[in-house]
């Protein structure tokens, strides 16, 4: 293998695949990144068996070949190089990759590419397409609600339904995010998958943002339907699926409300953040109080002090109400609602609160309140 590749391209490509590199010592091969020539591009690949990422970077391929190289060393070495073409030459006899960039040289010992696990790919089968920026926004709105601890594995996943619309739901037992959008080429009959939230967040990290971009992401299922593949022009991300039954979330979606409040999102978010500093020492409780066109956001710590912010609000239904939420759940939700104003709907201090953007129906965030004795 002999390849010349701009340092910036190589560095960017390695950053994309790095998150799939395994740090577990049980399978040392997984701490490597695969380098393989592919036409006029260089393919970088990493996998931890749950998540695999392929990334193609533009390169001048002089001689074909493939090898697996310690990922961390390669990435650190490449990142330290000047912005100039990097030449990589593999000596097949001892699998040492000789690297050269201006006046810096390096020799990195690799491993046979044949030892590297095969990463599944999709050649045929149904493929759906979704604008990259939209998919990224959907993931960011939903995946925050997924559980990060493994006590109930099903909650670490995002229930994804592929049909005429693409819908994503995540919940950690205390809150739930639901987002839907039209799916281009979506099938009449729905298919549901549970995709690890971690994998989707990696995908969101890789995808470009900005609505001006018209890049599309292709979504496909592996032939044996246990893996999902997301593909852009230069990246392919393959994720294992989570098996099991997602709880019946439709059943817990509130059907009605007693008090509905409309407030500016950024003001609410600011007030919640301020309150969270005071709430830190008292179970993270932020109390909301609604009264005659105003919302008060309060927190108190018996030892440190207390705080209250007031926000003008349009209050419908019962005018006076109280509810308490975990500050983190509140700020997480307000951070991702893409709307200048939000609606907060509540029924009682012990029933779920619902946050929606005022101007659309495609996003819902549900938070269970905290029961307080006072």
Partner 1 sequence: MILHCDLDAFYASVEQVLNPELAGKAVIVGGDPRKRGVVSAASYEARAFGVHSAMPLSTAVQLCPHGIFVPPHFEVYGRYSKQVFDIYRSHTPLVEPMSLDEAFLDLTGTECGQGPAAQVARCIQAEVKSATSLDVSIGIATSKVVAKVASDLHKPRGFTEVPPGQEASFLAPLPLRRLPGLGPSAEERLAPLGLRTIGDLAALPIEELLRRLGKLGFQLWEFAHGIDQRPVSPPGDPKSISRETTFDRDLDDVGRLELVLRNLAQHSAKSMRDHGLCCRTVNLKLRYENFETMTRSHSLPRPTVLEDEIVGEILQLFRQAYDRKRKVRLLGAGVSNFSRGSQQLGLFDEPPSKQAAITASLDRIRDKFGWQALTVGPTEEIEQRDWRREDLSE
Of 124-132, 166-174, 228-236, 335-343, which segment contacts partner 1 by CB under 8 A?
166-174
Q: 23, 94, 151, 292: which one contacts partner 1 (CB under 8 A)?
A: 151
Interacting residue with partner 1 among 285, 295, 327, 336 (CB under 8 A): 285
**Count of CB atoms situated within 10 Å of the CB of 301:** 16
Q: Enumerate residues 325-344 that contact partner 1 by CB under 8 A.
A: 326
- Decide: is 173 part of the binding site for partner 1 (CB under 8 A): yes
Taking the complex as a whole, the smallest distance from the CB of residue 176 to partner 1 amounts, in Å, to: 6
Do residues 330 and 279 make contact, with C-beta atoms less than 8 angstroms apart?
no
Q: For residues 302 and 278, what is the distance between their CA atoms, to the nearest angstrom?
A: 10
Residue 175 within binding range of partner 1, rule CB under 8 A: yes
According to CB under 8 A, which residues from 238 to 267 bind partner 1? 247, 249, 252
Q: Kindly give the pairing relationship between strand 259-264 and strand 314-317.
A: antiparallel
> Residues touching partner 1: how many (CB under 8 A)?
26
Alpha carbon distance 63, 81 (integer Å): 23
Among 25, 94, 292, 302, indicate the residue that binds partner 1 (CB under 8 A): 302
> Taking the CA atoms of the chain, what radius of gyration do you get in angstroms?
25
Whole-number Å distance between alpha carbons of 219 and 229: 6
Verify binding: residue 352, partner 1, rule CB under 8 A: yes
**Is position 366 an interface residue for partner 1 (rule: CB under 8 A)?**
yes
| Residue 181: CB minimum distance to partner 1, A | 23
**Does residue 302 sit in helix, strand or coil?**
coil
At 343, list the tokens: 């609606």
In 143-292, where does DSSP find H-type helix?
197-206, 265-279
Residue of 112, 319, 360, 372 interacting with partner 1 (CB under 8 A): 372
Q: How far is the CB of 189 from partner 1 (least distance, A)?
A: 27
Rounded to 5 degrees, φ, ψ at 115 are -75, -15
Q: For residues 68 and 114, give the distance between their C-alpha atoms in angstroms, rounded to a whole number.
A: 9
- Closest CB 159 distance from partner 1, rounded Å: 13
Tell whether residue 324 is a contact of partner 1 (CB under 8 A).
Answer: yes
Tokens of 351: 């029933």
Is position 149 an interface residue for partner 1 (rule: CB under 8 A)? yes
Length of the chain: 374
Shortest distance, CB of residue 153 to partner 1, whole angstroms? 14
SS3 140: helix
CA angle 330, 308, 324 (to 5 degrees): 40
> Which residues contact residue 23 at a Cβ distance below 8 angstroms, ignoring those fewer than 6 apart?
31
Site for partner 1 contains 196 (CB under 8 A): no
Shortest Å distance, C-beta 364 to partner 1? 13
Window 70-129: residues binding partner 1 (CB under 8 A): none
Among 103, 211, 255, 374, binds partner 1 (CB under 8 A): 374
For residues 171 and 203, which CB has a smaller minimum distance to partner 1 in the complex?
A: 171
Residue pointed to by tokens 């399978």: 27
- What is the closest distance, in whole angstroms, from the C-beta atom of residue 226 to partner 1 in the complex? 26
Q: Measure the CA–CA gap between 104 and 106, rounded to whole angstroms.
A: 7
* C-beta separation of 274 from 309 below 8 A: yes
Of 55-63, 112-120, 169-177, 218-226: span binding partner 1 (CB under 8 A): 169-177
List residues near partner 1 by CB under 8 A: 149, 151, 171, 173-176, 247, 249, 252, 282-283, 285, 302, 324, 326, 350, 352, 366, 368-374
């Amino acid at each position: 293998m002999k390849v010349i590749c701009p340092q910036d391209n190589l560095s960017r490509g390695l950053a994309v695949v790095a998150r799939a590199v395994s740090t577990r010592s049980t399978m040392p091969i997984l701490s490597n990144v695969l380098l393989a020539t592919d036409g006029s591009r260089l393919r970088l690949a990493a996998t931890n068996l749950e998540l695999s990422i392929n990334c193609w970077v533009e390169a001048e391929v002089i001689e074909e070949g493939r090898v697996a190289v310690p990922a961390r060393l390669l990435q650190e070495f490449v990142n330290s190089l000047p912005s100039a073409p990097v030449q990589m030459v593999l000596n097949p006899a001892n699998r040492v990759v000789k690297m050269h960039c201006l006046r810096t040289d390096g020799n990195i010992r690799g491993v046979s590419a044949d030892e590297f696990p095969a990463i599944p790919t999709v050649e045929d089968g149904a493929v759906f397409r979704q604008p990259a920026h939209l998919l990224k926004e959907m993931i960011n709105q939903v995946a925050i609600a997924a559980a990060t601890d493994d006590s109930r594995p099903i909650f670490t996943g995002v229930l994804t339904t592929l049909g005429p619309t693409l819908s994503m739901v995540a919940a950690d037992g205390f809150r739930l995010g639901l987002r839907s959008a039209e799916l281009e080429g979506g099938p009449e009959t729905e298919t549901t998958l549970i995709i690890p939230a971690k994998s989707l967040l990696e995908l969101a990290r890789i995808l470009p943002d900005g609505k001006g971009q018209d890049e599309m992401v292709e979504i496909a299922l592996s032939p044996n339907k246990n893996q999902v593949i997301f593909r852009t022009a230069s990246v392919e991300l393959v994720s294992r699926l989570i098996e099991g039954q997602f709880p019946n979330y439709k059943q817990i979606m509130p059907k009605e409300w007693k008090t509905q409040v409309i407030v500016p999102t950024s003001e609410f978010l600011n007030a919640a953040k301020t309150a969270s500093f005071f709430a830190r020492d008292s179970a993270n409780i932020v109390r909301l109080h609604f009264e005659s066109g105003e919302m008060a956001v309060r927190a108190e710590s018996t030892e440190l002090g207390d705080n209250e912010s007031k926000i003008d609000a349009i209050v419908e239904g019962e005018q006076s109400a109280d509810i308490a939420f975990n500050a983190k759940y509140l700020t997480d939700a307000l951070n991702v609602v893409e709307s200048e104003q939000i609606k907060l709907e509540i029924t009682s201090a012990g029933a779920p609160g619902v946050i929606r953007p005022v101007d659309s129906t495609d996003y819902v965030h549900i938070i269970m309140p905290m029961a307080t004795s006072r």
